[in-house]
């Protein structure tokens, strides 16, 4: 998926940055002001939501990738998106090739007050990290939120206490999710599951389940690579022979291969849980992650069903 996304975005980004460069130079003069709302961009709506929770009334936030009903692999940055990114004072992006279009735009424009939080770098993850869906890890957003509060405090020092207070509120609001993870792990540690892509793998690891689908299969689906026949056979056997209790699939990107796996699961009576890459509308980051745990728990304790947010 990171490779495919980068290729999909590169062509339009190259054209867009030229237009954005002019806008950035105009915005940079006003951006040096130390008053008013901070212009901020989250490369994904998940990060934009956390920026908003920490910054409150002192940020104006734009999410670049925000449509949970579209294929994020096919995202292309428009000129207006490039302008938003180029003029932003605070940017949070994922890294690991997931949103490389951000780097292209940033490197093509100058903004002396711009602060960039690259989550890969924040977490000190090597480029070889195979799974880019970092927001599903319980360790990610507390670190991101702290970095956001720090950068906002540097951009607007007069409001440091406000940002720190909202950070404390954010940290406290994660406790129900953490408690749900602990309760699930205590009750269902080692439960076997199958997956189509590694979208929710970090959460599955935290929950203590056994992902029976080889990562090679997940990575092939993620990157749009044809599956080896032995992978197809293995996955289908997991489902038809009831070797797993749940199939977790990326419901945001469904192709012929994953549709076949879904059909096999339903025919075999294996519960299905759909997960997203892009945060669905009506959720905060915390409520979204908690809902994912609840959906998995409902599926693993029920007869055949399809759990969707």
Q: Write out pLDDT tens, residues 181-229.
A: 999 999 999 999 999 999 999 999 999 999 999 999 999 999 989 999 9
**213 shares a domain with 112:** no
**118 shares a domain with 215:** no
Model pTM score? 0.86
Which ranges of 77-224 would DSSP assign to H, the alpha helix? 79-87, 100-108, 119-122, 140-155, 160-173, 175-188, 201-207, 215-222
Q: Which helix (H) or strand (E) holds 39?
A: strand 38-44
DSSP secondary structure code for residue 65 in this structure: E
**250 shares a domain with 194:** yes
Query: Nearest Cα to 284, choosing from 61, 67, 65, 49?
Result: 49
Domain ranges, residue 233: 176-307
Residue reference for tokens 């104006």:
60
Give the other-Cβ count within 10 Å of 127's Cβ: 8
Give the other-Cβ count within 10 Å of 303's Cβ: 7
**180 shares a domain with 168:** no
Chosen domain end from 130, 153, 173? 173
Predicted pLDDT of residue 82: 85
For 272, the 3-state DSSP assignment is strand
pLDDT, one tens digit per residue, over 158-188 is: 999 999 999 999 999 999 999 999 999 999 9
**201 shares a domain with 126:** no
Predicted pLDDT of residue 22: 42
How far is residue 190's CA from residue 194's CA, in Å, rounded to a whole number?
Answer: 12
Chosen domain end from 149, 173, 197? 173
DSSP secondary structure code for residue 159 in this structure: G
Assess whether pLDDT exceeds 90 at residue 74: no
pLDDT, one tens digit per residue, over 19-57 is: 344 444 444 434 435 568 999 999 999 999 999 999 999
Q: Contact, 149 vs 122, CB < 8 A?
A: no
Q: For residue 146, what are the CA distances in angstroms to 80, 165, 248, 257?
A: 29, 11, 31, 40
**219 shares a domain with 149:** no
**180 shares a domain with 165:** no
**158 shares a domain with 288:** no
Written as six digits, the tokens of 218 are 């997940």
CATH number of the domain that residue 61 is part of: 3.40.50.1980
Q: How far apart are the first and last CA of the chain?
A: 23
How many domains, in total, are found in the chain? 2
**204 shares a domain with 158:** no
**144 shares a domain with 96:** yes
Chosen domain end from 147, 173, 199? 173
CB burial of residue 114 (10 Å; 0-12, 13-18, 19+): buried
């Amino acid at each position: 998926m990171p490779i495919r996304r980068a290729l999909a975005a590169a062509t339009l980004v190259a054209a867009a940055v030229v237009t954005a460069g002019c806008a950035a130079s105009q915005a940079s003069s006003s951006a040096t002001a130390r008053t008013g709302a901070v212009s901020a961009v989250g490369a994904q709506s998940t990060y934009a939501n956390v920026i908003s929770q920490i910054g409150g009334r002192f940020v104006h936030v734009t999410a670049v990738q925000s449509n949970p009903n579209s294929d994020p692999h096919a995202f292309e940055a428009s000129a207006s998106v490039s302008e938003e990114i180029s003029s932003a004072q605070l940017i949070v992006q994922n890294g690991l090739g997931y949103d490389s279009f951000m780097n292209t735009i940033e490197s093509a424009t100058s903004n002396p007050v711009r602060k960039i939080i690259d989550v890969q770098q924040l977490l000190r993850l090597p480029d070889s990290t195979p799974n880019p869906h970092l927001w599903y890890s319980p360790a990610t957003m507390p670190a991101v939120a702290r970095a956001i509060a720090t950068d906002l405090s540097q951009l607007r020092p007069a409001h440091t206490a406000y940002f720190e207070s909202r950070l404390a509120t954010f940290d406290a609001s994660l406790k129900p999710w953490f408690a749900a993870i602990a309760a699930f792990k205590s009750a269902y540690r080692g439960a076997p599951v199958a997956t189509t892509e590694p979208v929710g793998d970090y959460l599955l690891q935290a929950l203590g389940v056994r992902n029976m689908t080889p990562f090679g299969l997940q990575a092939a689906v993620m990157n749009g690579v044809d599956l080896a026949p032995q992978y197809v056979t293995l996955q289908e056997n997991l489902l038809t022979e009831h070797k797993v209790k749940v199939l977790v699939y990326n419901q945001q990107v469904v192709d012929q291969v994953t549709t076949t796996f879904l059909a096999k699961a339903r025919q075999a009576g294996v519960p299905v849980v759909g997960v997203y890459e892009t945060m669905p509308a009506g959720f905060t980051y915390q409520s979204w992650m908690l809902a994912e745990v609840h959906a998995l728990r409902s599926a693993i304790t029920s007869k055949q069903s399809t759990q969707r947010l």
